[in-house]
A and B are shown apart, each in its own frame.
Chain A
């Protein structure tokens, strides 16, 4: 501490170290943040059901997505990545997930919405197992914090059935 250079060095080192500890405390404070988002998913209509040239089933449907994610935002939340996935079971694969729609919510003010939309990404099976099968729609939300680890939560809506033809 006898020279300017040494004092500057100590100050910078200490400042960065304290900042790191500060950020870890901010990340820790997220554990005390309770969130209760409201999500509602429904299938309004099955618009098309076709077999692709390769032999895979493809479905086009219209979804009603209404959600309020504003309670998920804490002081340490940068943005949310949300997506709706169709999940079903086939004889070949136990887990099948197809992402149908996604969005990025950048602020609390835009976290409440209700939209009717055709699926953004095509709902295609690896084969032709979709006819007459049951499927779930699941809303996933990845929470991206400013500091700390990312985490994912989900809400499952079950009991949807595709037509047989």
Chain B
């Protein structure tokens, strides 16, 4: 789950709990049943947990754009060679995007 997904999950969690509390309170009051209120709230809480806890695909719609890897300055000559070979390719790709 990325940053946007985490924000969405948290807000969704808060609004869903609030909504289930409001719905359960007024339904319970209307039908004068405390038991009904608790049942509705419990099912609302279960639903909220199912929606916000698993890592659903819609939490990963906008993945993070990581920077392209840069080769570290290493003492080993072999790594420097590899970086020299790969660097131009990566650079050209990112330009196209």
Give the CA-CA distance A15 to B17 in the complex, in Å: 7
The majority secondary structure among interface residues of chain B is helix
In chain A, what residue has the closest Cβ to B28?
A75
Give the CA-CA distance A125 to B41 in the complex, in Å: 53
- B52 cross-chain contacts in A, Cβ below 8 A: 7, 11
Interface size class of A (residues with CB under 8 A): 20 to 34
* Neighbour of A11 across the interface among B7, B18, B37, B53, CB < 8 A: B53
Give the CA-CA distance A120 to B67 in the complex, in Å: 85
A78 to chain B minimum Cβ distance, whole angstroms, is 9
Binds B, one of A20-28, A55-63, A86-94, A128-136: A20-28
Q: Are A76 and B34 in contact (CB under 8 A)?
A: yes
Q: Are B13 and A14 in contact (CB under 8 A)?
A: yes
**A141-161 interface with B by 8 A CB criterion:** 146
In chain A, what residue has the closest Cβ to B59?
A1
What per-residue 1/0 map shows which CB atoms of B20-60 lie under 8 Å from chain A? 01001100110011100100010001001100111100000
Top 7 closest pairs, chain A to chain B, by CB = A75-B32, A1-B6, A15-B45, A7-B53, A18-B17, A18-B21, A22-B21
Can you report 22 A-B residue pairs in the complex whose CB atoms are below 8 A from each other?
A2-B6, A4-B53, A4-B54, A4-B55, A7-B52, A8-B53, A10-B13, A11-B45, A11-B49, A11-B53, A14-B14, A15-B17, A15-B48, A18-B21, A19-B21, A22-B24, A22-B25, A25-B25, A75-B28, A75-B29, A75-B33, A76-B34
A: which residues have CB within 8 A of B?
Answer: 1-2, 4, 7-8, 10-11, 14-15, 18-19, 21-22, 25-26, 29, 74-76, 146
